[in-house]
Amino acid sequence: MLTGPELLKHLPQQAPFRFVDEVVEADDRHIVCRYTFRPDEDFYRGHFPGQPVTPGVILLEAMAQSGVGLLAIYLLLQGGGSTNEYRSVFTDAQAEWHNPVLPGETVTVSGELLTWRNMRIRSKVELRTGDGRLGVSGVLGGMGVRV
């Protein structure tokens, strides 16, 4: 069984484009991760000056890194595969935005596995704010590509 810190070591995205601080739990059916959107992140300067809001595309990326990328990495490693051989690539999303995420908020991203076969993954993913409000929900997909 992989620990959260061990699993996070395999995520290829790095700062300033890594939107996962912590893997809270993971198994072969789901994953839960957290990230704090720091108020000094560069994208807030232009989105929107004086009233910053986390861009939807960044929220979607945070969801993909956790609910698709890290869950696929977990399944790959548990199945005897290697992240030296494959990288998980985000491919598609059907998402619905419910509430804004503001600078300084810590979000929890939960991914529930829908399908995993032939290095393709589909997950039901939710992003919630620290007070439990639903920020974004959707179904996201990805695939493993040889590196």
Give me the pLDDT at residue 67, please: 98
The residues annotated with a catalytic role in the active site are: 47
Residue 129 is predicted with a pLDDT of 97
Tell me the pLDDT tens digit for each residue of 39-92: 999 999 999 999 999 999 999 999 999 999 999 999 999 999 999 988 889 999
* Integer Cα distance of 51 and 40 in angstroms: 13
Identify the DSSP state of 44: G
Sorted by where each begins, the domain ranges of the chain are 4-146
Distance CA 142, CA 133 (A): 26
Q: What is the pTM of this model?
A: 0.96
CATH homologous superfamily of 4-146 equals Hotdog Thioesterase (3.10.129.10)
Contact 42, 16 (CB under 8 A): yes
